[in-house]
Structure 1
Amino acid sequence: MYIDFSKLSPTQTYHTIIQTVIPRPIAWVLTENDNGSHNLAPFSFFAPVSSSPPILMISVGNKSENDKKDTARNIIEKKQCVVHIADQSLVEPMNASAQSLGYDESEIELLGLTTVEFEGSALPRLKAAPVAYACEFYEMKVIGDAPMSLLFLEIKHAYINDEIAQQGEDRLSIDAGKLDPLARLGGNDYSGLSESYTLERKP
């Protein structure tokens, strides 16, 4: 099958991409609303893009043509967020947190999730998430007709559950099987790590 993307609608393009660029990691992003409550939302257009400085990127669409989603609005205005990596045990609340709520309503309160203080961060982290990154807003690039806001986030601090991590002589080693991260497929499908293997890199 040959596909000419110039002949696809934005919806057709979206569904083609998300069903082939798989699996995708999920950024479960906590931000602060104007009333001090916390917004929580998942994004699978998400990737690490730099290690020096340590930068993550999430791509966030608008609610409507001129109305940004709460996550983007909060990050742009307050310059901070916490990006979580969820494991398989959190799939139900993670999926439920994608629902649309009014601004200043909290998914964390709605879903009964527990947060704890995050050292080095003005925002808390989700207690149950095995990985959390405290991030500051770095820059934004707006692309496309939709449009999409590419939010670049600089990692300032991280929490990693001790049960999945081991400090080596010169680097941290994370047990991917114990992390057991959620991954996004197409449609309403998700995946975990069914198998992993190691390949030596050619010199």
Structure 2
Amino acid sequence: MEFDVSKLSVQDSYLRMVQLISPRPIAWVSTLSIDGIPNLAPYSFFTGVGVNPPTICFSPANDGQGRPKDTLENIRQTGQFVVNIVTEPVAQAMHRTSDELAPEVNEFALAGVDPAASTQVKPPRVRSAVAAMECTLHSAIQLGAGPGGANLVIGYVVHLHIDDDLVDQSSIETVGRVGRREYTVVKDTFRLE
């Protein structure tokens, strides 16, 4: 089957992309508004960019009304965020934070997760996450407009939190997104020579 993406709806393009780009790691991003309200939301268009300097990116799409999501607004205003790593024990809490909510809603409280103080940035991290990356903003680029319009956030990693038991492991059993509401755990790995 062939698809001319210029003739697909935003929803149909999204469904085809998430079908093909799989599994997608999840950036569970915590931010603070300029009024100090914590925000926590997952983004599965997320990856590392490079290590010199340590850089990551994720893509928060506009909300259903075409407005930037709270995460993006907070990062633009403060220049800081934390990417919390999702594993199976926190997957349900992560999923609870995926709904569009009003800016005054504290998603840490909504999901029942405790915040922990970060070291170099103001937004808190998720205490129960096995790892977190504190980040400062390099740039936030608007790529599209309207509902589902793409934005790209590029950030420098300035501090790492990694559970002591995981420091010497080559990989962590992270949760990835494989569909709209379907997830997987990275457990079966293999090595090629």
Q: What TM-score does the superposition give when structure 2 sets the normalisation length?
A: 0.92
Secondary structure (helix, strand or coil) at the match of 2:142 reads strand
List alignment gaps of at least 5 residues for structure 1: 167-173
Could you say which structure has the higher strand fraction?
1
How far the C-alpha of 1:89 sits from its partner, in A, is: 0.8
Give the RMSD, CA atoms, in angstroms: 1.4
Q: 1:153 maps to which residue?
A: 155
Q: Report the Cα distance in structure 1 between the residues aligned to 2:105 and 2:9, rounded to whole angstroms.
A: 33
Larger Rg: 1
Partner in structure 2 of residue 191 of structure 1: 184
Query: Equivalent residues in 2 for 1:22-101 (5 A)?
Result: 22-63=22-63, 64-65=65-66, 67-101=67-101
C-alpha contact 2:26 2:43 (8 A) present in aligned 1 = yes
Q: How many positions carry a matched residue from both structures?
A: 190
* Residues 1:107 and 2:107 aligned together: yes
Map 1:156-195 → 2, pairs under 5 A: 156-166=158-168, 174-176=169-171, 179-195=172-188
- SS, match of residue 90 in structure 1: helix
In structure 2, list runs of 5 or more residues that go unmatched: none
Q: What does 1:9-24 align with in structure 2 at a 5 Å threshold?
A: 9-24=9-24
Contact 2:108–2:114, Cα closer than 8 Å, also in 1: yes
Q: CA deviation at 1:90?
A: 0.8
How far the C-alpha of 1:20 sits from its partner, in A, is 1.2
Q: CA deviation at 1:199?
A: 1.1
Structure 1 runs (4+) deviating above 4 angstroms are: none
Once the two structures are aligned, what percentage of the paired residues are identical? 31
Cross-structure match for 1:127: 127
